[in-house]
């Protein structure tokens, strides 16, 4: 597969010959890709193509599942996350935002500082500072600053999702994985999350799984197309969507096969 | 399973309509050459009248392109097609407009005393006509070689324009009382040269549709001037040594 990414940008995550089996099923086939730092990389492809499975391998969300076998290497900043990194340490550095907003049934404040508390921060002032910084970074501080002690479950879907992003940011990760983060949201909330992602890439590396082609073209710098466990094409988003190299990518993004 | 079949059909229909607009414009060019050779005013009037029809075709195709962009958010080769159609129909419409411009000047000439027609007109019309015909054939067949030959031919037409310009300048000096006629001929030659330019632009969009490479061959005379300047200055510095 042709590599068409900008070679001048530093690689944050380097994946080499990654294979994943669920029992007999070969779900990821020899994936090799470099994910650049401080850019948004979109993973696209039909349901069941392996894109979410692939994303989960980046913070080891599936290696403990029964019957899963993984081989190949995933390097975060040059360090092998399967061989030489502890999973807790890894998940501090690689955060994840899910399709359905999943706030804890706690106050807004407690949701945001959940991670830092687990990591041993007890100082109330310090936690407040983290809460404010994270909510500001998630562009939701102004909406929530007067109701930090109210339940997070009372927020709208879009606000809950931004709160979940703030919760991810609170532990100061390097990478944020987003698994279809706007598929449950209306267009206005979707727009806010997209804008947020574009702001966050200044400080974080973002990998996003999306079924929304327009979203991929709007916000991502790079796009990888997955099909039947294989990464068919990976390149700059503008190139992939204007002039895909592989006929299968062309057929998928133009809707020529369902 | 094939999806978005209505969209695919609509794209196919648009392709046919762009081709049809090309054919209509080709007929206008044939009539223009015929009118020029016969100085026929009725034929000129026919050309001018038919232009509304081509303008309407442009508007209809443009509206379809806008609808498709809005409703279907096309990508990849679909996007290249829709984006290119929008640019191509504007060039085709300009070619048809240039036929009308020439028709207006033929009408003027028909009311003036005859003068000897500058020598290279036949050749210039023939080259331009062939370029436009090849452009539409290249579009119909997705023929990149043909599109590329069209792009290369532009220089021939530019060269003929330059020769006609020199000839007309000479003629105006020799017979200053015929300046109106020669200015009309000069304008006609300029419009033919523009038609070849539009043809080149369409050929570039065909290349974009088929290959995805966008390399526009605009009238890059300024580049030629720059190249000439660079050449002159290097020769000058050579002399200084």
Write down the mean pLDDT value for chain B. 91
Q: Which tokens in the block code for residue A156? A: 């709208």
A85, A76 contact by CB (below 8 A): yes
Secondary element (H or E) of residue B10: helix B5-38
Flag whether residue A101 sits within 8 Å of chain B, measured between CB atoms. no
What local confidence, expressed as pLDDT, does residue B50 receive?
A: 95
Flag whether residue B70 sits within 8 Å of chain A, measured between CB atoms. no
A57, A70 contact by CB (below 8 A): yes
A128's CB contacts (< 8 A; 6+ apart) are: A109
What local confidence, expressed as pLDDT, does residue A6 receive?
A: 66
pLDDT in tens, A44-86: 999 999 999 999 999 999 877 889 999 999 999 999 999 999 9
CATH 3.90.1150.10 fits A11-253, yes or no: no
Rounded Cα distance between B58 and B72, Å, is 21
What local confidence, expressed as pLDDT, does residue B226 receive?
A: 67
Q: Is A242 in contact with B78 (Cβ distance < 8 A)?
A: no
Rounded Cα distance between B107 and A141, Å, is 73
pLDDT in tens, B160-218: 999 999 999 999 999 999 999 999 999 999 999 999 999 999 999 999 999 988 776 55
Rounded Cα distance between A256 and B72, Å, is 13
Write down the mean pLDDT value for chain A. 92
φ/ψ of residue B10, rounded to 5: -65, -40
Name chain A contacts of B78, Cβ cutoff 8 Å.
254
Flag whether residue B63 sits within 8 Å of chain A, measured between CB atoms. no
Residue B222 scores a pLDDT above 70: no
A212's CB contacts (< 8 A; 6+ apart) are: A182, A183
A65, A2, A63: which is closest to A32 by C-alpha? A2
Rounded Cα distance between A96 and A131, Å, is 18
Rounded Cα distance between A42 and A45, Å, is 10
pLDDT in tens, B77-95: 999 999 999 999 999 999 9
Name chain B contacts of A249, Cβ cutoff 8 Å.
76
A74, A15 contact by CB (below 8 A): yes
What local confidence, expressed as pLDDT, does residue A140 receive?
A: 92
pLDDT band of residue B238 (cuts 50, 70, 90) is low
Q: Is A244 in contact with B76 (Cβ distance < 8 A)?
A: yes
Give me the mean pLDDT over the B123-128 stretch: 97
A-B contacts (CB, under 8 Å): 41
Rounded Cα distance between B218 and B91, Å, is 12
- Taken in order of first residue, the domains within chain B and their CATH numbers are 7-232 (1.20.58.220)
A199, A140 contact by CB (below 8 A): no
pTM of the model: 0.81
Q: Is B3 in contact with A258 (Cβ distance < 8 A)?
A: yes
* Ranges of chain A with pLDDT below 70: 1-7, 258
A68, A69, A78: which is closest to A16 by C-alpha? A78
pLDDT in tens, A202-211: 999 999 999 9
- Closest residue to B75, CB basis, from A213, A257, A258: A213
Rg, chain B, Cα only = 21
pLDDT band of residue B225 (cuts 50, 70, 90) is low
Name chain B contacts of A255, Cβ cutoff 8 Å.
3-4, 7
B57, B55, B50: which is closest to B31 by C-alpha? B50
Secondary element (H or E) of residue B172: helix B144-174
Sign of CA dihedral B219, B223, B225, B231: negative
- Which residue, among B76, B213, B215, would best test binding to A if mutated, counting the most A CBs under 10 Å from its CB? B76
What local confidence, expressed as pLDDT, does residue B214 receive?
A: 77
The minimum CA-CA distance between B216 and chain A, rounded to whole Å, is 17
Region of residue A5 (left: phi > 0; alpha: psi -120 to 50; beta: else):
beta
Name chain B contacts of A235, Cβ cutoff 8 Å.
none
What local confidence, expressed as pLDDT, does residue A2 receive?
A: 45
Q: Which tokens in the block code for residue A195? A: 């804008």
* β-strand pairing of A25-36 with A11-22: antiparallel
Alpha-carbon distance values, B105 to B24, B54, B70, B94, B191 (Å): 21, 20, 42, 17, 10
For a pLDDT cut of 90, what percent of chain B falls above it?
A: 80
For a pLDDT cut of 70, what percent of chain B falls above it?
A: 91
Secondary element (H or E) of residue B65: helix B41-72
The residue extents of the domains of chain A are 11-253
Residue B35 scores a pLDDT above 60: yes
B69's CB contacts (< 8 A; 6+ apart) are: B82
The minimum CA-CA distance between B70 and chain A, rounded to whole Å, is 12
- For tokens 């419409």, the residue is B93
Q: Is A213 in contact with B73 (Cβ distance < 8 A)?
A: yes
Q: What is the DSSP string of chain A?
A: ----S-TTSPEEEEEEEEEEEETTEEEEEEEEEEEETTSEEEEE-STTSSHHHHHHHTTTSSTTSTTEEEEEEEEETTEETTTSS-HHHHHHHEEEE-SS----SSBHHHHHTHHHHHTT---HHHHHHHHHHHHHHTT-HHHHGGGTTSBGGGS-HHHHHHHHHHHHHTT--SEEEEESTTTTS-HHHHHHHHHHHHHHTTTSEEEEE-S-HHHHHHH-SEEEEEETTEEEEEEEHHHHHHS-SSHHHHHHHTTS--
A163, A101 contact by CB (below 8 A): yes
């Amino acid at each position: 597969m042709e590599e068409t990414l900008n070679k001048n940008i530093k690689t944050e995550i380097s994946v080499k010959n990654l294979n994943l089996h669920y029992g007999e099923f070969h779900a990821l086939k020899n994936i090799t890709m470099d994910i650049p730092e401080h850019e948004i990389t979109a993973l696209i492809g039909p349901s069941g193509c392996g894109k979410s499975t692939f994303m989960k391998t980046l913070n080891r969300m599936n290696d403990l599942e029964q019957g899963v076998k993984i081989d190949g290497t995933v390097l975060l900043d040059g360090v092998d996350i399967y061989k030489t990194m502890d999973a807790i340490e890894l998940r501090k550095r690689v955060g994840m935002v899910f399709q359905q907003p999943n706030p804890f049934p706690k106050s807004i404040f407690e949701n945001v500082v959940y991670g830092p508390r687990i990591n041993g921060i007890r100082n109330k002032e310090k936690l407040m500072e983290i809460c404010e910084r994270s909510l500001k970074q998630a562009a939701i501080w102004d909406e929530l600053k007067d109701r930090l002690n109210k339940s997070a479950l009372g927020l709208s879907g879009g606000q809950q999702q931004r709160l979940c992003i703030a919760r991810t940011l609170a532990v100061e990760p390097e990478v944020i994985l987003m698994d279809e983060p706007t598929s449950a949201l209306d267009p206005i909330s979707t727009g806010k999350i997209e804008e947020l992602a574009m702001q966050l890439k200044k400080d974080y590396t973002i990998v996003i799984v999306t079924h929304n082609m327009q979203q991929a073209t709007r916000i991502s710098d790079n796009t990888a197309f997955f099909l039947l466990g294989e990464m068919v094409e990976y390149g700059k988003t503008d190139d992939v969507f204007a002039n895909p190299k592989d006929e299968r990518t062309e057929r998928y993004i133009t809707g020529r096969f369902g | 399973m094939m999806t978005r079949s209505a969209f695919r059909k609509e794209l196919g229909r648009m392709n046919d309509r762009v081709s049809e607009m090309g054919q209509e414009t080709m007929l206008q060019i044939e009539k223009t050459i015929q009118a020029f050779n016969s100085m026929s005013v009725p034929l000129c009037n026919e050309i001018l009248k038919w232009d509304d029809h081509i303008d309407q075709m442009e508007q209809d195709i443009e509206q379809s392109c806008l609808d498709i962009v809005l409703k279907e958010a096309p990508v990849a080769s679909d996007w290249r097609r829709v984006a290119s159609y929008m640019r191509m129909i504007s060039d085709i419409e300009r070619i048809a407009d240039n036929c009308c411009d020439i028709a207006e000047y033929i009408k003027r000439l028909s009311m003036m005393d005859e003068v000897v027609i500058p020598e290279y007109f036949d050749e210039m019309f023939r080259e331009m006509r062939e370029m436009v015909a090849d452009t539409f054939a290249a579009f119909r067949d997705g023929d990149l070689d043909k599109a590329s030959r069209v792009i290369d031919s532009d220089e021939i037409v530019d060269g003929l324009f330059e020769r006609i310009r020199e000839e007309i300048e000479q003629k105006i000096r020799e017979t200053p009382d015929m300046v109106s006629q020669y200015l009309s001929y000069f304008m006609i030659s300029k419009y033919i040269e523009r038609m070849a330019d539009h043809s080149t632009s369409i050929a570039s969009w065909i290349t974009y549709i088929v290959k995805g490479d966008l390399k526009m061959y605009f009238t890059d005379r300024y580049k030629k001037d720059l190249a000439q300047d660079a050449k002159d200055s290097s020769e000058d510095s050579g002399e200084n040594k």
